Amino acid sequence: MHSMPADLLSAVVTILAILLYFYMSVRVGQMRHKHGVKAPAMTGHPEFERAFRVHYNTLESLVVFLPLLWLSTIYFTPAFYTLAWLPAALGLAWIVGRILYMTGYMADPDKRGTGFGIASLAELLLLILAIAGIVRFSMAITV
Amino acid sequence: MHSMPADLLSAVVTILAILLYFYMSVRVGQMRHKHGVKAPAMTGHPEFERAFRVHYNTLESLVVFLPLLWLSTIYFTPAFYTLAWLPAALGLAWIVGRILYMTGYMADPDKRGTGFGIASLAELLLLILAIAGIVRFSMAITV
Amino acid sequence: MHSMPADLLSAVVTILAILLYFYMSVRVGQMRHKHGVKAPAMTGHPEFERAFRVHYNTLESLVVFLPLLWLSTIYFTPAFYTLAWLPAALGLAWIVGRILYMTGYMADPDKRGTGFGIASLAELLLLILAIAGIVRFSMAITV
């Protein structure tokens, strides 16, 4: 796997993140059915509401995770090529965090903290990589 | 149109999907006004709630549709160039499915199934194309 | 800064937009805590609900803003290179609009119009640039 270019690794991570997200949305539909919460209602049973919030909170996060993953892949890895695996590794950490968030939240909303923290930390590190890559590219041009 | 590169076709599909999404968001605003649902309320009248759910369900889907469309365009089409039109065609199918979803849901929440199914199938096929393309690229590198 | 390529400018704008979005999501968590709105509830106090809607309305917008920003950057700037700064400038206008939207909405939901209008106008102009760029590329191929 270490011989794979960074963009392919990030493509694989993107697919895995989307699969997890699909699974979460299917769970919302199952909970809607199980507890008889008729569309368009978004409330009605705690278990449905938790599944709904897991899905939506992951949606909130996905829309910045994917741009950060790809900005890191495009701008960080060419400049720091010995660390080319790092964006994809942080992407995997985000996915693991989101799985823990899901299982924790479904068990008890108060147990959503650990997974949320791991995923948020992964996002923050991807943000730092993206900024480092953009700064490095900018310096290469203006110098 | 068959002479257009796959990325331009996918760019056109992206624009069309965004136009449909804009239309849905305008409808939410109109329904909010029509039924006097004051912000920040998200409930208050069935027709407003249906328009709101149409918009948000399409949002949920758009955030994976666009990445899958572009992963397919980037990784599938160079490897399977006689099928270079396929990602954009599936993108159009997604848009048609989403239009049927909107019109069905607004008429009756129980009629949202057909459009949802078409759009979901298009996403699933784009997922398969993206995976096929990524696998093909990976094999070309490791062999 | 005028010597920076359009893609780096758009990368910087993407980072700034994501930072604003992060800030909005942190505010939702703070308001949830401040007013004792326990997860998974999404209602319970007007200030929490306003912060929630600011975040989600920006999410709704972000998922089309970023694709439009990058379609403009990829297709418009190579064809109209003297205006290569324009997509990033419109991206900054979107960010300013979204900041005004946030501050206006938190003060009073009726004051969200100005910022929303600026951000929407920026999106509309990015849409026009993207279409112009795609049309120009298509003509260059088919002629």
The length of chain C in residues reads 143
pTM attached to this predicted model: 0.95
**Could you give the CA distance from residue B30 to residue B52 in angstroms, rounded to a whole number?**
11
pLDDT below 70 — which residues of chain B? 1-3, 142-143
> What is the per-residue pLDDT across A64-122, written as a single tens digit (0 to 9) for each?
999 999 999 999 988 888 999 999 999 999 999 999 999 999 999 889 999 999 999 99
Rounded to 5 degrees, what are φ and ψ at B89? -65, -40
Q: Give me A143's structure tokens.
A: 């110098």
**Could you give the CA distance from residue A39 to residue A33 in angstroms, rounded to a whole number?**
10
**Could you give the CA distance from residue B22 to residue B119 in angstroms, rounded to a whole number?**
18
Q: Is the pLDDT of residue A1 over 80?
A: no
Chain A residues whose C-beta sits inside 8 Å of any chain B C-beta: 3-5, 8, 11-12, 14-15, 18-19, 21-22, 25, 38-42, 55-56, 59, 62-63, 66
Residue B93's pLDDT is: 98
Burial of C96 (0-12, 13-18, 19+ CB in 10 A): middle
Element (H, E) at C61: helix C46-71
CA C48 to chain B, closest CA, distance in angstroms equals 10
CB atoms within 10 A of CB A110: 10
Residue A80's pLDDT is: 85
Q: Give me C89's structure tokens.
A: 């400038």
pLDDT along chain C (143 residues), means of 10: 80 98 95 90 90 95 98 92 94 98 94 96 98 92 67
Burial of A5 (0-12, 13-18, 19+ CB in 10 A): middle
CA B21 to chain A, closest CA, distance in angstroms equals 16
Query: A71 and C15: CB-CB below 8 Å?
Result: yes
- Chains in contact with chain A (at least 3 beta-carbon pairs closer than 8 A): B, C
Element (H, E) at B70: helix B46-71
Q: Give me A115's structure tokens.
A: 């997974």
Q: B64 and A20 in contact (C-beta within 8 Å)? A: no
* Share of chain A residues as helix, strand and coil, in percent rounded to the nearest 5: 85, 0, 15
Residue B1's pLDDT is: 44
The length of chain B in residues reads 143
Burial of C110 (0-12, 13-18, 19+ CB in 10 A): exposed
**Could you give the CA distance from residue B92 to residue C97 in angstroms, rounded to a whole number?**
32
